[in-house]
Amino acid sequence: MLVLFYTPNSFPPTMHTSSFQQNILAELHHELAGTRTILERVPFEQAEYRPHPKSMSLWQLATHVVNLLAFKSLFVTHDSRDFLDPNAPKPGPTPTSKEELLARFDQYSALLREQLQATTDENLTHNFRLHRGEQTIFEQSKVAAIRLMGLNHSIHHRGQLTVYLRLLDIPVPGLYGPSADEK
C-alpha cells in the first residue's frame, strides 16, 4: 500500500510504504503538532464567543477537539462503541483554563501514540462498529475509522477553530504552509 503523508516540517509530504500503524503515526505526529499550535492561541477570556447562535462556543469547540483524541483511542483499543451504553468511557469535565486544556491535549495525545505504537496492523484491519443501540452509525476497519472519523473529524473541527481565531482577529498559524498572518 502506498500512502501520501505529511511529516513534521516537510512540504511536500513524504511517501511511506510501511504499515498502517506507521502511516497513521506519521500523519498523527504532524496533525497533533498543528492542532496544539491552534489550541495555544485559543483565548480563554473569550471562551463564550460564538460566531453564530447555532455554533458551539469557542471553548466548547476547543474542548471537543481535545476530547476527540480519547475517541480516536477507542478505535485502537476496542471493537465497538455504543452511544447508549451508560458505562462507556466519557470525556472528562470541561477544562477550566487554557493550561488544563493543553495538559489534557498532551495527555490524550501521548496515550493515543502509545496505543498506536503498541498495536499491530492486524488489529487495525479488524472492524470497529459505532452504534446507538441496534442502529449502526458506521462499521469499517479500525484504520479507516481512525482516518475518517478520527483524523478527518479532528481536522474539520480544527479548521472551524481557525475561523473563530480569524474572526477574533487572532493570528492564524500556517498548518500546511504559511498563513496570511505569517507572510
Q: Which residues are annotated as a binding site?
A: 64, 153, 157
Collect all residues with Cβ–Cβ distance below 8 Å to 45 and sequence separation of at least 6. Answer: none
Name the helix (H) or strand (E) containing 40.
helix 20-41
> Mind spelling out the 3-state secondary structure of 107-175?
HHHHHHHHHHHHCCHHHHHCEEEEEECCEEEEEEEHHHHHHHHHHHHHHHHHHHHHHHHHHCCCCCCCC
CA distances from 1 to 15, 23, 100, 177 (A): 11, 10, 39, 27
Residue owning grid cell 478527518: 152
Cβ contact 45:168 at 8 Å: no
Residue among 28, 64, 65, 32 nearest 143 (CA): 28
Q: Which residues are annotated as a binding site for a divalent metal cation?
A: 64, 153, 157
